[in-house]
Amino acid sequence: MRISLVGLPGVGKSTIGRKLAGRLEVDFVDCDAVAEERLGESIASFFEREGEAPFRDLEEAVLRDLTLQQDAVIATGGGVVLREANRRLLQDRTLCVYLEAEPRTLFARLRRNTRRPLLQVADPEARVVELARQRDPLYREAARLVVPAAHNAAATLAAIEAALLRHATEPRQDDEVASCR
C-alpha cells in the first residue's frame, strides 16, 4: 500500500501523513525532507540560489524514488503536481489523496512562515489564492480521492480513513475520482 498526499502548502500533508502512517503501521516519508537531505541545505536556500526549475528536477527524482517504496505514506511538496511526469507517478504508483482546503484558511496558517519560497512576495494572501486557482485542477488530475482538510488534524485523519475504507470496499473506475465531502 502506497498512499500519497497532495495539496497546497500549509494544508497539513506532513502532519496528517505522519499520523496516517502510524495508524496504518507503515513508513512515513516526506518528499521535502528527503530533498533537503539530498541537497544538504534547505529548499528555501536552494530555491533562492538556483531557482525553481532545478528544484523541480530534484523533486521529480525524489518522487520517482519514493514511489517505489512499499507500504508507505508519502507527503509531497505543494508544487509536485506542476509536472505531468509527477502527476503520472502519483496516479500510477500510489493511491493519491488530495487534501483540499480554502486558500484563505491556508493563508491564516502560513502568514508568518518564512520557510516557503513561493510565499515570499508582496501579497502572500493573493499568492495563495493564485496557487489554489492554478493547482486545484492538477491536484484533482493526480488524485484518486479528494478529502476536505478540516481545521484540525484529527478530523482530517478521520475523513481520510473513511475515504480509504470506502475506496477499498467500493472499487471505482480508473478514471473516477471519489470526493469525500
Cell of 130: 493564485
At 78 the three-state DSSP class reads coil
Cell 500510477 found at: 92
Judge contact between 13 and 160, C-beta under 8 A.
Answer: no
pLDDT at 181: 44
- What is this structure's pTM? 0.88
Q: Side-chain half-sphere of 146: how many Cα atoms within 13 Å?
A: 15
Using 50 as the pLDDT threshold, list the residues of the chain that sit under it.
174-181
Distance CA 94, CA 44 (A): 27
Among 92, 107, 106, smallest CA distance to 148 is for 106
**Tens digit of each residue's pLDDT (9 = 90 or more) over 10-55:** 899 999 999 999 999 999 999 999 999 999 999 989 988 999 899 9
- Whole-angstrom CA distances from 52 to 11, 154, 176 are 21, 33, 32
